[in-house]
Amino acid sequence: MIKLVSVISLATAAFCLPASAQNFTTTTPRFTAAELTATVNALSAPSLTTAIDKFDAAPPMGHPRLFKGQPDYLGIVAATKAERASSIVALTGYLQRNSVANVTTALKTQINSTNTAVRMESWWQQDRILEGMAEAAVAYHMTKNTWFLTEMRARMQLFAPGILARKCAGDVSETRDYAWFYALTYDFAYPAMTSADKQMVKDILIACGNSGLNKVADTVKLYPENGIAFNALGKFVGALLIVRGDMPETHAWLRTALPVYVSSTSPWGGDDGGFANGSSYASWDAGESLVMWDLIERVLDVPFYRKPWLAEFARFMAYALPPGVPVGVFGDGAEVNRIEDWARFGKAIMNRSDTTLSRWYVKQQSGEDYARLHILLSPREYIGPVTLPATQPNGAYFPAIGWAAMHSSLTDRSRTSVFFKSSPFGSVNHSHADQNSFVMYSKGKVLAMDSGYYDYYNSPHWRDYYKQTKAHNAITFDGGQGQYLGASGLGDRAASGKLTKFLQTAAYDITTGDASAAYAGKLSQAKRTVVFIRPSTLVTIDQLNSATPRKYEYNLHTVVPLSGTAAAFRADLAPAEMCGTVASPDAFAMSASVGYTPAPSVPAGPHFWNKFNYSTAKNRGFFVSVLRSNCLIVKPDITFSGTSAKITVGGRVISVTDQDVTVN
């Protein structure tokens, strides 16, 4: 296994930061320029071609390829006889309870339907059965219990006739998983497979390749942010690596697909490891891709995990989803507490890293479904005690995606956390029109929320509320007008933001975002600066301008009602609390509404939309807000003078001018 290192690479420093680099706290690179060059060269298209040629010329690699043709690799199998023994017991119980013998006639009819829409009605249920096919093969390899072979073959036979009859025609969500799970099954059960079993896998891979998977690399090149196509390409590459040398008919496909996939990883981030498509999709997409990444590195002996984005991804996860966080951060699905996903995918991701931070993170996570392949096929956890060094920063920024994470204490599960976003990726795909927005959590509670629910992609609620700026703790104007979502309403990368400052000290962090491009010309200035004074005070400063006078609106979304006035309001969420102040040199009114319009199609929790809106349209807008997760802290003193302001709070004085925000 390649050891991963914590790195803000030289490439990131050169590419992501603006010329005024003095506005950013610098991090000493862990990759030297020579190391970066070596990695780039090793993962270039010519080098990948050479790696394939070398594999083809070498003595045939056995199976499982995931274990480099060895019975065990990195002690993964040995772990099932020791600390992961309960995982095999749990997996056995799951497969027995959900044996293919219990599949209903109605589901069998859907599986074999020639109508894609009919099959897709139960696709997630079908997909779990397919995954169980691979799970049975893995369990057989680890235990040699022939019951697993019987179950595996029954699942293979359940799907194969329909797949082959329609030549694998269908939705790419189907074809990618047919190819992947049949190949993974083949990899782990190879010695026990009959010639008929192997021929079935070969026929399915060739059919699914010819039905469209052989063209998915072209889709990724044209539309790099097509997440479904990118995931399909990864699964296709993984499947092709498993059968390389066994099925010559598929050989040409790997030479086309592999360089595109390697160069595209990840379409949602840069060398700092960030993932712009939101925390939910970060864990899902990466967690489901790990075995494919393992295959690239182990089969071809190339340093895939030294790619800077991959090397830094574990660090991103540690700061964006720290242990104890109540919900996710930004984007579709972030409003849900996904503790099982975070533990399962988090451990699988971190176990492929070898840093003190990643080892610590694993020790903090629990509650995962340890019968899943994400855990069973991951390297063993570090056994010894882990303590983060006193020098471990309590905040981090990811300029390539425009995120900043600021914590009172990273190691404290009851921490106060502030997350800020001003992203160059705009609102495309699963991202929202929420540039220059923030969320705030404390003591396991949500103080300032991203509102709405991800009922389904492009639902009425998603389109007309959840995706829009008004659903977030961000600036709107003139009755909820916000950032541009493109002609289709599905999002626009050009409607973007960017971080222009991130200065970090032990006592406070300052972050500034420029979201003017996100408003598509309606605002000439949309600058927000957030100052997080540890351990519990968040100050936001919004400086706005428009050629057309606007009634500016500061939006704050909470799960409980606010009591009080704009000058002094309170929210109680025992054991957490929030006291706040919103101020402006211009007259404004405070109002609140409850619930959602349109409502989501799934049950919704409480939501209070608190609006602080200008009474009179102005060209310039100026808001200052102070939110305290400890109400014992003295209420702020805020004074305005023209376009400047001074805020005294938390033992600090914050000075605001047109040019800058400073803290003393």
Q: Give the single-character DSSP code of 133.
A: H
**Mean pLDDT lowest among 12-26, 122-136, 438-452:** 12-26
pLDDT of residue 403 exceeding 70: yes
Please state the rounded mean pLDDT for residues 111-138.
98
pTM value? 0.94
Q: Please report, as a single letter, which amino acid is at residue 491.
A: G
CB 290, CB 283: distance < 8 Å: no
**pLDDT of 556-594, one tens digit each?**
999 999 999 999 999 999 999 999 999 999 999 999 999
* Sequence-distant (≥ 6) Cβ neighbours of residue 478 within 8 angstroms: 550, 551, 617
**Average pLDDT value for the chain:** 95
Model confidence at 31, in pLDDT bands (50, 70, 90)? Answer: confident
Model confidence at 614, in pLDDT bands (50, 70, 90)? Answer: very high
Higher pLDDT, 4 or 162: 162
**pLDDT of 513-527, one tens digit each?**
999 999 999 999 999
330 sits in the region (left: phi over 0; alpha: psi -120 to 50; else beta) called left
User: And the tokens for 275?
Assistant: 């993932």
Please state the rounded mean pLDDT for residues 476-491.
98
Distance (Å, whole) CA 205 – CA 638: 66
* Domains in the chain: boundaries: 1-10+265-383, 395-663
What pLDDT is stored for residue 520 in this prediction?
96
* Sequence-distant (≥ 6) Cβ neighbours of residue 97 within 8 angstroms: none
- Report whether CATH 1.10.10.10 matches the domain 395-663: no
Kind and range of the H or E element at 600?
none
Task: Return the SS3 of 295.
Answer: helix
Model confidence at 29, in pLDDT bands (50, 70, 90)? Answer: confident
**pLDDT of 278-330, one tens digit each?**
999 999 999 999 999 999 999 999 999 999 999 999 999 999 999 999 999 99
Taking the alpha carbons of 391, 363, 273, 514 in that order, is the dihedral positive or negative?
negative
Among 611, 549, 623, 642, residue whose Cα is nearest residue 584? 623
What pLDDT is stored for residue 2 in this prediction?
32
Please state the rounded mean pLDDT for residues 338-367.
96
Torsion of CA 237, 242, 247, 248, to 10 degrees: 50
CA of 200: how far to CAs of 185, 197, 205, 207, 247, in Å?
Answer: 12, 5, 9, 11, 12
Whether the ω angle into residue 575 lies within 30 degrees of 0, i.e. cis, is yes
Distance (Å, whole) CA 294 – CA 304: 8
What pLDDT is stored for residue 26 in this prediction?
80
What pLDDT is stored for residue 28 in this prediction?
74
pLDDT of residue 360 exceeding 60: yes
**pLDDT of 629-664, one tens digit each?**
999 999 999 999 999 999 999 999 999 999 999 999
Q: Please report, as a single letter, which amino acid is at residue 434.
A: D
Any idea what the Cα angle at residue 270 is, between residues 269 and 276, rounded to 5°? Answer: 20
What pLDDT is stored for residue 3 in this prediction?
35
User: And the tokens for 380?
Assistant: 């063993």
**pLDDT of 48-87, one tens digit each?**
999 999 999 999 999 999 999 999 999 999 999 999 999 9
Strands 525-533 and 537-550, by their bridges, are: antiparallel
pLDDT of residue 19 exceeding 90: no
291 sits in the region (left: phi over 0; alpha: psi -120 to 50; else beta) called alpha
What pLDDT is stored for residue 662 in this prediction?
96
**pLDDT of 235-291, one tens digit each?**
999 999 999 999 999 999 999 999 999 999 999 999 999 999 999 999 999 999 999
